[in-house]
Amino acid sequence: MSADFGVIGLAVMGQNLALNVESRDYTVAVYNRTRFRTDEFMRDKCEGKRVVPTHSLKEFVEALSVPRKMILMVKAGPATDAVLEQLFPLLSSGDVVIDGGNAHYSDTEKRIQQAGKHGIHYLGTGISGGEDGALHGPAIMAGGDREGYEQVEEILVKIAAVGPEGPCCAYFGPGSSGHYVKMVHNGIEYAIMETIAEAYDLMSRGLKMTAQKMASVFAEWNNGDLSSYLFEITEKILRRVDPDTGKPLVDLILDRAAQKGTGKWSTQSALDIGSPAPTIAMSVFARVISALKEERVEAQDVLSGPDNKISADRDEFLRDLFGTVKITVLAAYAQGFRQLQDASRERGYNLDSAEVARVWMAGCIIRARTLTQMAQVFREEPDLPLVFLATPFREVWDKGQSGLRRVLAQAHASGIPIPAIDSAIDFLDAYRSARLPANMIQAQRDFFGAHTYKRIDKDGVFHTKWEEG
């Protein structure tokens, strides 16, 4: 049987994506480095399905109809290089290779060049939605070879999630644009997760609320303006009780979060291109600090601080917190979209922000109701530098900022850390400041390094001998 499509890598994402493609009436060839995984997949999940198991890359390539179309769902980095090194010589000019892993965009650029030497169409493609999304419909962010995309578009569109504005799949532009969009998606994901964690901390440690009560708050928020996947799962997490202890399961989970790959890369790239993404960056650093568990435990007895109790009226505080969380989540999206625009200019991606918002509306981890409004805003003003400047989002700021400032004061007075929330207000207060203290920084730079400065009252470049006269 000649297969329409191939999947390389049968861990959680590859298996589910293969089943998704098969369910749309395609025959799928599959290959995994470790044979056992392929055999197990065939035995447990593929009975009666049009899935062709193969046990070598040569066999895999021969099982595909020409021009061959395939997706790699293997670990990003050296594992992907190892597969491609063996795969490219087996392929023919005109074949299409989609890298669906979370590759670093610079690796994607390099691989596009390598594929080009073999006449292969290479698509660096972000796939978001985790296990469930891969099976039922992920968000698909493709980039790279346009001709290649046209050959696989039908399949990708069919397997994608369907959002309020159609299938969540798009070709974003040349080079590594698809993987770059996915990377920033994950940066935003980090920031929203951190914001939720901070709100949970304020309610839990600050207001001493039970998990069930907090779940009800998240349910209410999820029914309103914050309606989104991450808020939905937070309610479910808070309601889960550990059968062994009868305690909320979340309370029993070690407070140490991993950070690697895309969230970190998103921040590194923001720094490289000079794009302001502090809320995303602080979310990465929050995970870095969380990993210092042993040090934190020791420091608790060394460094004094308040008792974490928030003594505000609970209902008023929760009302303020709702506005605070809305602004912080919006700051994460605002910074992410801004980074995409900056990167698009810098790297020639030619990204369409409205289309990015549309693809993120369903299937992916940061799907949220607010993205429909964001797509609309970007359609009206494609080069809008910051979503807060558009009326619906400016109103979120206008309505929520006094409450945010109260939450901030209470959190700091109680000693509960809120790095994402803090960074959001600092970012917005800086962005709306016509004059910032960078004049002092320029003076200092000129003082110790003769870096020169410009003046606000006359043209030219100036240097002062600060120690003289």
Catalytic annotation on 58? no
Residue 101 within binding range of ligand NBP, rule CB under 6 A: yes
Single out the residue of 51, 83, 155, 375 in contact with ligand NBP (rule: CB under 6 A).
83
- Per CB under 6 A, the list member of 6, 9, 143, 173 interacting with ligand NBP is 9
Among 7, 13, 29, 183, binds ligand NBP (CB under 6 A): 13
Q: Which residue is nearest to ligand NBP (CB)?
A: 101
Nearer to ligand NBP, 20 or 32 (CB): 32
82 near ligand NBP, judged by CB under 6 A:
yes
Structure tokens at 252: 């029993």
Give the one residue of 1, 2, 34, 429 binding ligand NBP; rule: CB under 6 A. 34
Residue 460 region by backbone torsions, left for phi larger than 0, else alpha for psi between -120 and 50, else beta = left
> Residue from 20, 102, 125, 228 that binds ligand NBP (CB under 6 A)?
102
Shortest Å, Cβ 32 to ligand NBP: 5
Give the separation between CA 76 and CA 58, rounded to whole angstroms: 22
Cβ 432 to ligand NBP, closest distance in Å?
Answer: 36
Candidate ranges 71-79, 116-124, 154-162, 239-247; the one touching ligand NBP (CB under 6 A)? 71-79
Active site residue: 22, 69, 109, 189, which one? 189
Interface with ligand NBP, residue 76, by CB under 6 A: yes
Q: Does 61 bind ligand NBP (CB under 6 A)?
A: no
Nearer to ligand NBP, 32 or 324 (CB): 32
Are 77 and 110 in contact, with CB atoms under 8 Å apart?
no
Q: Is 109 left (phi over 0), alpha (psi -120 to 50) or beta?
A: alpha
11 contributes a contact to ligand NBP by CB under 6 A:
yes
Q: Give me the half-sphere count of Cα atoms (radius 13 Å) on the Cβ side of residue 420.
A: 32
Stretch that binds ligand NBP, among 45-53, 79-87, 290-298, 433-441 (CB under 6 A): 79-87
Q: Residue 284, SS3?
A: helix
Q: Does 33 bind ligand NBP (CB under 6 A)?
A: yes
For tokens 């000693």, the residue is 415
182 vs 338, which CB is nearer to ligand NBP?
182
Cα 128 to Cα 153, 237, 269, 285, 402, distances in angstroms: 17, 20, 20, 23, 35
Pick the closest to residue 329 from 279, 374, 270 (CA basis): 279
Residue 228 to residue 234: CA distance in whole angstroms: 10
Q: Which residue has the tokens 């440690």?
A: 205
Q: How far is the CB of 128 from ligand NBP (least distance, A)?
A: 6
| 395 catalytically annotated | no
Per CB under 6 A, 79 contacts ligand NBP: yes
The reply on whether position 10 binds ligand NBP by CB under 6 A is yes
Closest contact distance (angstroms) between CB of 147 and ligand NBP is: 24
Of the candidates 431, 201, 165, 454, the one whose C-alpha atom is nearest the C-alpha of residue 321 is: 201
Q: Name the one range near ligand NBP by CB under 6 A: 7-15, 147-155, 368-376, 391-399.
A: 7-15
Residue 74 interacting with ligand NBP (CB under 6 A): yes
Kindly tell me which residue out of 75, 118, 158, 405 binds ligand NBP, with binding defined by CB under 6 A. 75
What binding mask, one character per residue, do residues 128-157 give for ligand NBP by CB under 6 A, x or -?
A: x-x---------------------------
> Nearest approach, Cβ of 135 to ligand NBP (angstroms)?
11
Is residue 127 at the binding interface for ligand NBP, with CB under 6 A as the rule? yes
Min dist. Cβ of residue 419 to ligand NBP (A): 25
What residues act catalytically?
182, 189
User: Can you give the binding site for ligand NBP, defined by CB under 6 A?
Assistant: 9-14, 32-34, 37, 73-76, 79, 82-83, 101-102, 127-128, 130
